Structures are given as structure tokens and as C-alpha cells.
Amino acid sequence: MEIVSVMAGYLIINVTGSDTGLDFKEKYKSWLENPYYDDETKKELLEIHGNDKEIEDRFYRDLEFGTGGLRGIIGAGTNRMNKYTVRKASQGLSNYIKKNGKASPSIVIAYDSRHRSDEFAKESACVFASNGIKSYIFESLRPTPELSFAVRHLNCDAGVVITASHNPRDYNGYKVYGKDGGQIPPAISNEVLEEVNSITDLTSVKVMDFEKAKAEGLIRIVGSEIDNAYIESLKSLKITETDQEIKDKCGIVYTPLHGSGNIPVRRILKETGFHNVYVVPEQEMPDPDFPTVKYPNPEDKAAFDLAISIAKERDVELIIGTDPDCDRVGVVIRNRRGEYVPLTGNQTGCLLLEYILSNLGQRNAIPSNGFVVKTIVTTNLAKKIADAYNVKLVEVLTGFKFIGEQILIREELGNEKFIFGFEESYGYLAGTFARDKDAVVASMLIAEMFAWYKSRGMTLYDGLTELFEKYGYEREALDSFTLEGKEGIEKINGAMKLLRERKPSKFGSVEIKAIRDYKKGTRIEIGNNEEQPLGLPSSDVLYYETMEGYWFCIRPSGTEPKLKIYYGVSGKTESSSAESLDNLKTQVLSEIKPMLE
């Protein structure tokens, strides 16, 4: 085995054991002939016999392990999520834990509503058991942030959650957490992958029988005791307490999008006084096929179509939706014309940041050593808000793992106090009980903020307008280009390479002031070629600062075959910022699209 390459902070690893060095056809043949692979796997592979393009896609490369963990399409092959890749990852993690953990190591495992999630969770536990590592496995699906909480609550050495987050229904994944409850950072990822790399024969991975492991105390089923501790901890993070009379006027439509949020989100809203919560019945129950949506992603407005219908019928102003593993939350609000409009992740994050800091400020409760965190592609409005309350803003690479890592570095190992962190892709975290984005606590705070604005005679739309009037009309956008298969990955890598070689001073009519190359770790002034260090880990990201004070950022996705382009502008009015954003997008795409054709 070997680490093939590093791209966008993701390590591409060989997970096929003795298949190392074979081309895709030889790997395919090996999986068909090796008795280690079960009949179901071989039957699936025989169905694609003769389809070289499909065989190549399944075997030409290996899954990526990074900020999203091990994630891919479910199926047989080295470029797929299956029990063999799960076992391999679990054995590598077991080796790492035994070398770096305590005398009696333990791990906690959770899973969401996706196809084979429960199977992959049990496979993981059985591998851990064969290595003498005790596993706590949840009795049924649970949110990812509860897994993060449970790692520290149970004093475990690590955590694993089986999820593909908001990816399409044919995906699943394997996400690893460290003993601090946060996603494992790059340095530890490297060490885990070295352990995976040491396993030369996949058939050497031992798997204990699940019932035998339970009988021997190596697997323990957990549930309500963790749920209760988690919910009570989150309730302690309330910022304001509005009169119940006001809360009773706050109707909310909620959709879990067929995922794990249904029970915990409804529970925390009820226990914090929000009793008029209407759940979308068609999307209430867990369903791995996500039959009512094209993508189970709260970033997609279409996912809220059913919720909007109920909101209109019930005369409700606020809609909340969480993704399948309940770490992301989307918000739809009613504007002054009675239209239901989705908030961007940046808008929700800044509304929450202003709500938290303004109320803490009124009580003189902002910690003098407090800090908030955002990613490099998250709105610059966050900095304006933090500056207004004299709070330090820390900027990190894309990926919530880097936000959670700051809690460990600055609070646990330092003397600073984490207040709030968010990213543009609908992830938010308050408090330190979880160390990853948490849609349960975010849903509680969003509802609480809704009631607070209502107590002031305002809607959330009014609150957003007030925010822009105070700080300026910041607007952001995102373009994603999906390029499937080996050819798509090659085009994405080729575009990034070409941009680095050219160091363009203009994109269309947009003049570039400076380029931040996070892979190289430097910021380059176009006018004088002066370089300055960025001080962040290496990542395949290019960030462009324009002469007008705007920005755009280009990076490959780490979890999907996509090239992402982020944009940010500011203006004195809504119309001027919208015009600037449209122009910026047009000019940038005029250069990027030809590279992807």
C-alpha cells in the first residue's frame, strides 16, 4: 500500500491490500477470484463484466481520507464504500489507537440513515473488538455532533461515524474523530494512514463475531443515557430567555430530510419552550433513498418545497431543515412580500454571531479572551461583526475540522475562550460540548433568535436587513462544476496546475491585487511579486484578492468530483453589491470554464 497523493488536504490512499501495483483490470480480476471477497460482492462485479469504463471507475483509484473522512459511492471496488474498505480503515485506526491510546482503549461509533450505515458500523466494531478495543455503538441512528460529544463524555480514545453527510443517496462514508471529540487533524491523519499503509494483505484483517464481542464486553450498546447528557449540555448554551407568550407565537416548520435530526431537534425545541413546531410528514422518518428530494442537502432550496407548502398553510415565518447526519442546518424565512426565501450559510452564521455577541455584550459577558472562528471562504462580514465587539476572529482552512481544532489549541491548551464558529456551507457551533458543526444546538439558537427578534417587534428578515444596514451589504456566491470519473479529476487537477503556472493578473476585466496560494503557503502581491507566508497548513486552494476589495477562491472539493469557486463582494446598497457580484462571477467564469471543457 501507499499514499498516492495529497489533494486539497485529502490523502488518497490504496485500500486494496495485495492489489497494490495492479492496473484496474487486474484489480477487478483479483476481486473476482480471491475467496476473501463474498458472493454478493462478486455477483455485483460480474454484472459489470465487459464494461471497461465502469470497471475503471471502480478500480482506477482509491478513496480519499480527509476533512470528510473516507467517503464514496456504495459498491464493490477500490473506489467504492464497502465492508472491505471499512474493515481496512478500522484496522489502521486500531493500530494507531493501540500505539497512542491508554492501556484499555475504547471507541464510540454512530451512524445515520444511509444505506448500509448500520452494517458498516457493526463491521467497524467487530474489527475493533478483534484488536481488543472496546466499542460503544449507538442502538440506532444518531446525529454526527452527538458522536463528537460522546467521545469526550465516555472518555474514549476515538470516535467513528458512518455517514456521507449531505451527499446523494448512493454515497456513504467513514468519519474519524480524535479523543478531543474533533475530526482528526492532518498530522494524526498521516499517522493513521501510515498504519493503514503497513497492512499489506487485506485478508489479514480479523473480524470478531458481533454477538461474541458483546458477550465478552468488547461491544456495548448505548443510547438514551448519552442522549440525555447531550441535550442537557446544549440547553445550557441558551443566550436569551424570551417570555413563553412570545415563544407560543413562534411557529416553526422543521424537516429532518429523512435523516437523524428528527428526534433530537424536535426534543431540544420542545424543551426550550417552542411548542408550535410542525414537522414535514413526508420527510419525518429515516429513509436512505431520500424519496422526496433530489439531494438531501439543506443548501438546496428544492429540499424545502414541502416545508414551504406547510409554512404557507400554517402562516409560519421560519423553516429549519437539517441534513441526514444533522450537522448542517438550512433556514428559510418569510420576507416583507410574504415570499419564502432561503438564507445563505453566511447570512445565518452572521445573524447568529450578531445575536450572540450583542446579547453577551449587553450583559458585559463577552470573555476578554474570547474568540470566534470562520474559514477562509466564509464571508468577511464575520470579521466586521467581531471587530465591532472587540472579539478576536481566527481564520482557518476550509473544513470544520479546523474550527474544532482551534478549541483544542486555544482553549484546552491555551487560555482563550471559544464563543462561536461557522462556515459558509451551513455549519455552526456554539459551546465546546461538541467539536464539530452541530445542527441540534444551531436549531435551538436559531429558534431562540427568532423569538428574540419577535420580542423586539421584528422578523428575522428585518434582522438581516438591520445587519446589512449596520455593517454593509456583503454578498457571496458559489459555483460548483461536477466532472465525473477519471477524466473529470484530471481536468480539475489540470485547471489548478494551469492557474498556478500562469499567476493571472486579470480575470476578464477584473484586476488581481494578490494571490494566496495555500498549497505553497504564500501570498503574492501581483505588482511587485512580494511574497508573505500565510501561516496555515498546505491545501490545494487559490484565493484571489481584487483591486476593488472583492475576492474569489478556487478549490477542488475533497468529498466529491467538483471544482468549487467562491465569490465575495461588498457594497453600500443591496443593488450595488448584487451588480458587483454578477460582474465578478461573469469575469471569473470567462477564464475558468474553458479550462474545464
As annotated, the active-site residues are 165
User: How is the chain split among helix, strand and coil, in percent rounded to 5?
Assistant: 40, 25, 35
271 in Cβ contact with 235 (< 8 Å) = yes
Residue type, 143: P
How many residues appear in the chain?
597
SS3 sequence of 138-193 = ECCCCCHHHHHHHHHHCCCCEEEEECCCCCCCCEEEEEEECCCCCECCHHHHHHHH
CB proximity list for 219: less than 8 A, separation 6 or greater: 125, 126, 129, 134, 135, 137, 210, 213
Write out the DSSP string of 327-382: SBEEEEEE-TTS-EEEPPHHHHHHHHHHHHHHHHHHTT-S-TTEEEEEETTS-THH
Radius of gyration of the chain (CA): 24
Q: How far apart are CA 378 and CA 367, in angstroms?
A: 23
Q: How far apart are CA 77 and CA 31, in angstroms?
A: 8
3-class secondary-structure state, position 234:
helix
Strands 318-322 and 252-255: parallel
Q: How far apart are CA 279 and CA 267, in angstroms?
A: 12
Q: Kindly provide the residue ranges of all beta strands, DSSP E only, lying in 471-530, ordered along the sequence.
A: 473-482, 506-507, 510-517, 522-525
DSSP-assigned letter for residue 529: -
Q: Report CA-CA distances (Å) from 257 to 271, 327, 330, 532.
A: 22, 12, 11, 45
| Adjacency order of strands within the sheet including 106-111 | 3-7, 10-13, 64-66, 69-73, 171-177, 158-162, 106-111, 134-138, 219-222
